[in-house]
């Protein structure tokens, strides 16, 4: 862990007067500590116009109380300005933050920038200079954290660093993982109390063991690590949770890593001081290569509740025991307070990759409900404990089998949102099936599967459960009632990979689609009120913020160029788009993608 000279606020203000960092920082900005973050996105929010953490609130609801833009005037939206964010590397996945009238963002190559939220004027940029040759096609970064005047950012190659939010100068840097071990960092770090929580990706890129860490936010010193799967059984177990998990594996699984990557889903309950984390699929994909068959493989495809102070496991819920379909449970975790059967419940919800929408008691992990929000045929339903009743027809070997939902997931990383006024969750969903087929033999650094299969797939005979999509529609936006577990309305277009949603007190849901469209719907009825093509593809999630009484909608988009050394030409540069009422800026002309990067890459894991 490296520590750089800390730059204090008072000298910075003097430099600001001299124009070194611009007039924007001429006053001491309001600090952001654990107390401020606890209130963010709640009715007691002290900075309601800001966007201080990845999900707007620590409960990850992505709801904004702003309502200057509403159903009556959203059709007047126009581009206010755009900003070239920096080198691309496939689809943008980062959620910008807004604080002190400044937008902070991060690109797929982990370049961090700060711009004036009113004009788009650049304040600073910091490039950690990721060695692109070592990332082996993994190119994604989903966001930043903000704490005590610092922007805390991950680099794709396994570093975690803190920058002075006013100047972009480094304060500390820590090492989370190494690309030599096929680990990468793609998730947005989160603040839990005075700690930074970050997990590692790489579940489908090699033989590795998943984990997530807690770091002291002030110093970058690592406080604890939680492994999501057990290691070599000849070595001491790190904790009791690993001793329990080891009983659900067998053979030489540890030589192949086990999987369980932590690359997205996270929430924090400051009252319970619990961190909630979603874990990835078991590796290799096919159970016959994992050393033992018909065992649960804890804690893959699970939701974990961990004490923020100690890193000790409090409870777990496994959505897919003995996963064979890449149905990891790393999708967005959202904390809600819902009235269920006349009782107010503090719950955790997830629209999972496997096609089920789950509601759990977030204090105990008790299963409350689960229902398919898309067509599902790999399971016939869930039992009373939430365990899936797997359809035997869904198990595959060397003969191809077509399964619903798709291997990319019914819902992947594209964020959903919750509007307390409608009681609905807005889920970007995918409807396609996927054909699985196992290799004859295990190959090192292989999933053990031929993605897409070959020949004519064997269809599953058992009837599917869950709502069918219209013929030919591959994805859409779903308004889901988490109490009645029913679909209230659906809008075709988009899917669970790319873009995402934000909802507001103006009775709006904004959706960004991977193909470049920004859309707005009425939150209660699903009426499409606005749509525009931005001229880019490979889109990131939207946010909304307010400065000087003016509301804005912002998001990143653009594929840019492919990985270094891959021979692809440059595409149009990725941009930060900012819209407002009566915006007059000209949208960029849509450009044909460069050779070699014709479509957004699959989500980095």
Q: Which of 45, 326, 439, 449 is catalytic?
A: 326
Indicate if the alpha-carbon torsion angle 456, 460, 463, 465 is positive or negative.
negative
Order of strands, sheet of 550-557, starting from the edge strand that comes earlier in the sequence? 77-84, 575-581, 550-557, 543-547
- Contact in structure between 374 and 404 (CB atoms under 8 Å): yes
Give Cα 26 to chain centroid, integer Å. 34
**How many residues are there in the chain?**
605
- For residue 413, what are the contacts with CB-CB under 8 A and spacing of at least 6? 93, 142, 264, 330, 331, 332, 496, 497, 500, 603
- For residue 425, what are the contacts with CB-CB under 8 A and spacing of at least 6? 334, 349, 351, 357, 416, 417, 418, 479, 480, 481, 482
Residue 253: φ, ψ to 5°: -55, -40
**Continuous H helices in 219-376:** 240-246
- Contact in structure between 368 and 348 (CB atoms under 8 Å): no
Task: Give the span between the Cα atoms of 450 and 446, in whole angstroms.
Answer: 9
> DSSP letters along 400-462, please?
-EEESS-TT-SS-SS--EEETTTTEEEEEEE---EEE-B-SS--TT--SB-TT-SSSPEEP-S
Q: Tell me which DSSP letter residue 74 carries.
A: G
Secondary structure of the chain: what % helix, strand, coil (to 5)?
5, 35, 60
If residue 211 lies in a helix (H) or strand (E), which one and from where to where?
A: strand 211-216
Q: Would you state the structure tokens that stand for residue 412, as one six-digit string?
A: 């992947």
- For residue 182, what are the contacts with CB-CB under 8 A and spacing of at least 6? 136, 202, 205, 206, 207, 208, 445
Q: Tell me which DSSP letter residue 319 carries.
A: S
**Continuous H helices in 34-186:** 34-39
Annotate 479-522 with three-state secondary structure.
EEECCCCEEEEEEECCCCCCCEEEEECCCEEEEECCCCEEEEEE
The answer to whether 157 is a known catalytic residue is: no
If residue 473 lies in a helix (H) or strand (E), which one and from where to where?
A: none
- For residue 575, what are the contacts with CB-CB under 8 A and spacing of at least 6? 82, 83, 84, 85, 534, 536, 556, 557, 558, 588
Phi-psi region of 537 (alpha: psi -120 to 50; beta: other; left: phi over 0): beta
Query: Which are the catalytic amino acids?
Result: 326
């Amino acid at each position: 862990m490296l520590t750089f000279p800390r730059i204090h606020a008072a000298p910075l203000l003097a430099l600001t007067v001299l124009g070194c960092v611009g007039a924007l920082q001429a006053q001491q900005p309001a600090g952001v500590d654990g107390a401020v973050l606890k209130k963010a996105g709640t009715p007691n929010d002290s900075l309601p116009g800001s966007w201080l953490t990845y999900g707007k609130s620590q409960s990850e609801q992505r709801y904004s109380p702003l309502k200057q833009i509403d159903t009556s005037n959203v059709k007047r939206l126009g581009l206010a300005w755009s900003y070239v964010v920096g080198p691309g590397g496939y689809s943008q996945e980062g959620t910008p933050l807004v604080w002190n009238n400044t937008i902070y963002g991060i690109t797929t190559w982990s370049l961090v920038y700060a711009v004036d939220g009113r004009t788009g004027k650049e304040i600073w940029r910091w490039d950690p200079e990721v060695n692109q040759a070592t990332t082996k096609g993994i190119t994604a970064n989903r966001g930043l954290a903000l704490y005590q005047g610092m922007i805390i950012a991950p680099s794709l190659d396994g570093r975690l660093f803190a920058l002075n939010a006013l100047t972009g100068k480094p304060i500390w840097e820590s090492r989370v993982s190494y690309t030599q071990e096929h680990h990468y960092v793609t998730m947005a770090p989160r603040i839990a109390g005075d700690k930074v929580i970050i997990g590692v990706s790489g579940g489908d890129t090699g033989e590795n063991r998943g984990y997530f860490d807690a770091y002291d936010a002030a110093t970058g010193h690592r406080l604890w690590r939680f492994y999501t799967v057990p290691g070599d059984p000849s070595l001491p177990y790190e904790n009791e949770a690993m001793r329990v998990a080891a009983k659900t594996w067998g053979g030489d699984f540890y030589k192949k890593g086990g999987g369980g990557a932590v690359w997205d889903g996270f929430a924090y309950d400051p009252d319970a001081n619990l961190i909630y984390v979603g874990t990835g699929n078991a590796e290799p994909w096919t159970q016959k290569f994992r050393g033992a068959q018909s065992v649960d493989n804890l804690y893959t495809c699970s939701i974990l509740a961990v004490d923020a102070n100690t890193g000790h496991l409090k409870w777990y819920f496994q959505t897919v025991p003995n996963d064979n379909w890449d149905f990891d449970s790393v999708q967005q975790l959202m904390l809600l307070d819902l009235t269920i059967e006349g009782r107010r419940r503090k719950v955790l919800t997830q629209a999972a990759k496997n096609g089920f929408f789950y509601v759990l008691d977030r204090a105990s992990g008790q299963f409350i409900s689960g229902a398919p929000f898309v067509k599902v045929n790999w399971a016939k339903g869930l039992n009373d404990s939430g365990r899936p009743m797997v359809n035997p027809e869904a198990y595959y070997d060397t003969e191809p089998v077509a399964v619903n939902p798709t291997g990319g997931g019914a819902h992947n990383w594209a964020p959903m949102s919750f509007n307390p006024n409608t009681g609905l969750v807005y889920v970007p969903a995918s409807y396609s099936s996927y054909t699985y087929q196992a290799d004859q033999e295990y190959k090192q650094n292989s999933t053990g599967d031929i993605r897409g299969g070959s020949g004519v797939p064997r269809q599953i005979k058992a009837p599917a459960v869950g709502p069918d999509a219209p013929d030919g529609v591959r994805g859409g936006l779903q308004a889901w009632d988490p109490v009645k577990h029913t679909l209230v309305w659906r809008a075709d277009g988009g899917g669970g990979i790319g873009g995402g949603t934000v909802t507001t007190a103006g009775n709006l849901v904004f959706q960004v689609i991977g193909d470049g469209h920004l859309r707005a719907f009425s939150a209660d009825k699903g009426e499409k009120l606005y749509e525009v093509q931005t001229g880019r593809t490979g889109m990131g999630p939207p946010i909304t913020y307010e400065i000087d009484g003016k509301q804005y909608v912002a998001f990143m988009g653009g594929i840019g160029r492919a990985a270094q050394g891959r021979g692809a030409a440059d595409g149009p540069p990725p941009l930060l788009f900012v819209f407002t009422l009566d915006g007059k800026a000209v949208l960029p002309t849509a450009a044909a993608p460069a050779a070699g990067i014709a479509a957004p890459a699959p989500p980095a894991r």
